[in-house]
């Protein structure tokens, strides 16, 4: 398989409903990953452009749903299904969705 230009590691960690920390899966990350895969394929990016992978906890639980974008090395946080089209379009343009990029302060809170 070809090396993609970008890999989106979508946290699909799930904690028990009663766990106060919550989890990305409980916030809908599995559906978001599925939507990313579909949209990436529809835009013709699946073979070389990008791949949406499952990840275990990225230690940014308070900002879930979290996605780590590599090799760019930044986090998207508070991602919803509605953000998926914009995220994929930035994979085409080479940019990023700035309003979703976690700040240094947010990253420090974890």
Applying CB under 6 A, the residues found at the interface with ligand FES are 11, 13, 23-24, 57-61, 64, 66
For ligand FES, the closer of residues 57 and 97 by Cβ is 57
Minimal distance, residue 2 CB to ligand FES, in Å: 28
Pairing of the two strands 6-11 and 50-55:
parallel
**CB of 6: closest distance to ligand FES in angstroms?**
19
Residues 8-32 as b/e (b if ≥16 CB within 10 A, e otherwise) read bbbbbbbeeeeeeeebbbbbebbeb
Closer residue to ligand FES, CB minimum distance, 35 or 45: 35
The Cα–Cα gap between 64 and 2 comes to 29
Residue (36 or 66) nearer to ligand FES, CB: 66
The nearest distance, CB 31 to ligand FES, in angstroms, is: 14
Task: List the one residue out of 72, 78, 79, 75 whose CA is nearest residue 95.
Answer: 72
* Structure tokens belonging to residue 42: 């529809």
Specify the residue, 45 or 67, whose C-beta has the smaller distance to ligand FES: 67
């Amino acid at each position: 398989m070809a090396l993609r230009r970008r890999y989106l590691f979508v946290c699909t960690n799930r904690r028990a409903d009663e766990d106060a920390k919550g989890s990305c899966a409980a916030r809908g990350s599995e559906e978001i990953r599925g939507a990313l895969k579909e949209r990436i394929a529809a835009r013709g990016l699946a073979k070389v452009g990008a791949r949406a992978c499952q990840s275990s906890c990225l230690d940014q639980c308070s900002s879930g749903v979290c996605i780590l974008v590599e090799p760019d090395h930044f986090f998207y946080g508070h991602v919803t299904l509605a953000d998926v089209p914009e995220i994929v379009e930035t994979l085409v343009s080479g940019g990023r969705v700035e309003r979703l990029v976690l700040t240094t302060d947010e990253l420090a809170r974890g």
